[in-house]
Structure 1
Amino acid sequence: MAFHRAVVLAAHNPLLVGLFDGFVPRVRQTMVEMLRMRADFDEDADHTLHRLLHEAIAARDTAAAADLSRHHLTSLKESIA
């Protein structure tokens, strides 16, 4: 969660920070359970994806950061559908 909050903070948008801070406590357990439902969950691959996202943000490569985020969210959605 700390990584995700840091990404939200990096957007420098107080509205997003407020939404995130209000959203996370209510759905944290659901997010954990959702990840456990994924039969193909690969923790190492997940950490690698998050590292690549961090690097893209640090490099201010918005296209790469958006693509990585989209890929991650799409794969989560498809894995539980």
Structure 2
Amino acid sequence: LSRRGIHDREILQAMREVPREAFVDPGFEEFAYEDGPLPIANGQTISQPYIVAFMLEMAAVGPGDQVLEVGTGSGYAAAVMS
């Protein structure tokens, strides 16, 4: 992600700590760390890691900020934000 321009150390650390494989459907765990979307329930997809990191970096969410995440899907981005 840092090679693609993500530089916020807190986001990069949070993405290292949150196990993305816990948010994907069974059978897709081995693909959890590829930079691509993966299918989840109800015909939705979990966003690729770069998109999550970019979105969070652009949002500049900081400690104490409140966020309303609409369309949370798997909850992965919310977990990274927390």
Structure 1 and Structure 2 fold alike (TM over 0.5): no
Bigger relative contact order, structure 1 or 2 (CA pairs below 8 A, ≥6 apart):
2
Q: TM-score, normalised by structure 1?
A: 0.32
The higher radius of gyration belongs to: 1
Give the structure with the larger helix fraction: 1
> Hey, which of these two has a bigger chunk of strand by percent?
2
